[in-house]
Every structure is written in C-alpha cells, then in structure tokens.
C-alpha cells in the first residue's frame, strides 16, 4: 500500500513562519511570554534548582535523539509507560560544555539526582528511573504550545499562505501522537535558548526573575495599547515599546517570589544585580520594571529565539499534514 503524501504546496517553510512571527509578535507576545514563564515556574518547582532540571532534560533529550536517528517514534503514553529510560554514552564534559555549566557543578548536580533516586549510573551509561516521568509528563506545556501554535498559524492562514486552519486540538493531538520526535525538536529549540539566557544573566534564577518582570510589563503594555489602539509593524518595535511603559506598572519582589516560587531573599538579591547591570529600574513604590535604555543585548538574543521558534513551529505544522 502506498501512503498518501501531503502536497508540497501545503507545507510551510521556516522563513514564512519567521516573517509572520515578527510581524504579529504584538499579538503573540502574551502567549509566548506566558508559556516561557509557565515553563520556568514548573522547572523550578520540580527541584527548586534550575540547573538540575536543565541537566535532566538534556540527558532525556539524548534518548529522543537516538529514537529520531533510528526512525523510532513513541506517542506520549508509550513513552511514559516505559519502566526505565537508558541514556547511552553519558559524558559529564559534554553536558557541561553544551549547557555552559561548570564541570564540577554538573558533576555535583548529577550526583544529587543519583542520590535522590532519579538517575542510576551503570558504568558509562545512565538509567532514568520511572519516578522522573512523574515530574516530566508535560500535559500543561503541550496545552500551552498548542494554543500558541494555533494562534501563530492563524496569522499565516489569514495571510493566505495556508489552505486550512489548524486548531489547538489538532496540534495537541499531533504532539501527543509523535511525542518523542516533537519533544526532540522542542528541546533542540528550547535547551539552546535557556542555555543562552543562562549565559547572559549568569544563572537561571536571574533569567526566571527577569522573565517574570517581562511578563508583568507585557500584560500592562497590552492594556495600554488596547486603549490607544497602537499597532507595531514588527517584534523589535513592539519590544522597544515594552520597555517604555510607565513606571507605575512594575511588580514588587514579594509578588515575583510568589509567582516564581523562588525565595524572597534570593529574589531581592537577583533584583539588585539586575538593577546594577541596568536591566531593571525600581521606582519609589519599590516596583521593578524594564529599563528602556538597555534593551539592545536582550533584543539580539530575542531574535535568535525567534529564529529557533520558527524552525520548531514549521516542523510541527508540517507534521500535522502527515
């Protein structure tokens, strides 16, 4: 039996996605920033340690890479019903280098994961124990991704680049059906993004705290733009506006701590560092907000994030056509 293949004309390329992503970022920003913030909250909640979580998903990604290289696809339930997960050719140096985490820190975090029973070492291999999957099963993350993708491709549909609209449920079913492959390409996108933010800020707690400020400021900016009926032609113009929103729309340290789960003392320390580096300002009401005069370095990283997001999104969309 010959399998029906989708027409080439129904598929989408990453450049078309990137174009629409930049053009409509004003309308997609809330979904994207909220998704990133939710992921950061869940990652921190798992171990109260961002680096440990990042190391674990990097280790799991190696298995997804192996599956993909050998044309193996597992759906969501098949993957999480496995009794254990073997990671081949485990190497601390590789993990430390790719994630830009000091080697000794990486070694210590892996030891802590072993001590807690999540990882077991077998010579040079690692075994991920079943209890890990309780942490990792990403139902809510899949929902957030599906909603974002549906909205993004709605803009491509409106621009007549697509024949049929793909709903949030369509994306959700696709992700669950081809879970091991989709999560491989998700990690191909997300791990470099998170690693770059870690390198930029010096640690992921700072990235998480700064991101919480961004989510708050984006929410307030959206309210202002709705009243003023302002429209921006691309993502860079919108992000510059994001930094110019009135100071009274900031967020206090206690709220950041409550939302992120990061202890208030740590939040205050990281906020002082962000102010010192001039990424945040603080007003007389002790509300923190973005510093519009120091967005340049952040915009460069954001553009790389958008490129990776375009590649991931186009691949998932094309997967729905099979």
Mean per-residue pLDDT, 60-74? 91
Whether 221 has a pLDDT exceeding 80, the answer reads yes
pLDDT value at residue 81: 86
Strands 119-122 and 280-282, bridge-based pairing: unpaired
pLDDT at 83 over 90: no
**Residues 105-140: pLDDT tens digits?**
999 999 999 888 888 877 666 788 766 666 667 899
In contact, 90 and 193? CB cutoff 8 Å? no
Give the confidence band of 2 by pLDDT, cuts at 50, 70, 90: very low
Q: Name the average pLDDT for the chain.
A: 89
Residue 22 makes CB contacts below 8 A (sequence gap 6+) with 234, 235, 236, 306
Query: What is the average pLDDT across 140-152?
Result: 94
Q: Is a pLDDT exceeding 60 seen at residue 215?
A: yes
Q: pTM (2 decimals)?
A: 0.91
Q: Is the pLDDT of residue 49 over 60?
A: yes
Give the pLDDT of residue 166.
Answer: 87
Cβ contacts of 267 within 8 Å, gap of 6 or more:
209, 253, 256, 257, 260
Quick one: average pLDDT of 56-83?
90
* Residue 322 confidence (pLDDT) above 70: yes
| Burial class (CB within 10 angstroms; exposed 0-12, middle 13-18, buried 19+) of 269 | middle
- What are φ and ψ of residue 302, in 5° steps? -55, -40
Contacts 24+ apart (CB under 8 A), 238-244: 238/25, 238/26, 238/29, 239/25, 239/295, 239/298, 239/299, 239/302, 240/292, 240/295, 242/29, 242/214, 242/217, 242/218, 242/290, 243/217, 243/290, 243/291, 243/292, 243/293, 243/295, 244/292
Between CA 113 and CA 107 the distance in angstroms is 10
pLDDT at 7: 61
Percent of the chain with pLDDT strictly greater than 70: 91
The pLDDT assigned to 23 comes to 94
Return the higher-pLDDT residue of 21 and 322: 21
Give the start-to-end residue ranges of the domains of the chain: 10-46+137-319
């Amino acid at each position: 039996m010959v399998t029906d293949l989708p027409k080439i004309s129904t598929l989408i390329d990453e450049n078309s996605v990137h174009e629409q992503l930049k053009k409509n970022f004003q309308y997609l920003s809330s979904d994207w920033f909220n998704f990133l913030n939710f992921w950061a909250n869940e990652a921190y909640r798992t171990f109260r340690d961002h680096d440990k979580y990042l190391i674990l998903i990097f280790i799991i990604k190696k298995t997804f890479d192996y599956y993909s290289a050998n044309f193996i696809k597992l759906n969501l339930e098949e993957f999480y019903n496995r009794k254990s997960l073997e990671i081949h050719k485990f190497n601390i140096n590789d993990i430390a280098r790719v994630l830009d985490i000091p080697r000794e820190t990486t070694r210590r975090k892996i030891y802590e994961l072993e001590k807690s029973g999540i990882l077991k070492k077998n010579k040079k291999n690692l075994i991920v124990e079943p209890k890990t999957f309780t942490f990792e099963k990403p139902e809510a993350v899949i929902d957030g991704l599906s909603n974002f993708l549906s909205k993004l491709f709605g803009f491509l549909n409106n621009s007549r680049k697509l024949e049929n609209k793909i709903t949030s449920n369509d994306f959700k079913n696709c992700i669950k059906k081809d879970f091991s492959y989709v999560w491989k390409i998700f990690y191909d996108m997300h791990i470099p993004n998170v690693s770059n933010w870690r390198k930029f800020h010096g640690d992921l707690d700072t990235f998480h705290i700064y991101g919480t400020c961004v989510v708050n400021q984006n929410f307030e900016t959206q309210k202002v733009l709705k009243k003023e009926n302002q429209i921006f032609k691309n993502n860079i113009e919108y992000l510059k506006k994001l930094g110019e929103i009135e100071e009274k729309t900031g967020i206090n340290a206690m709220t950041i701590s409550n939302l992120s789960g990061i202890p208030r003392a740590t939040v205050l320390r990281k906020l002082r560092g962000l102010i010192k580096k001039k990424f945040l300002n603080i007003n007389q009401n002790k509300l923190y907000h973005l510093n519009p005069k120091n967005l340049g370095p952040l915009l460069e990283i954001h553009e790389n994030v958008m490129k990776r997001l375009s590649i991931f999104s186009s691949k998932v969309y094309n997967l729905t056509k099979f």
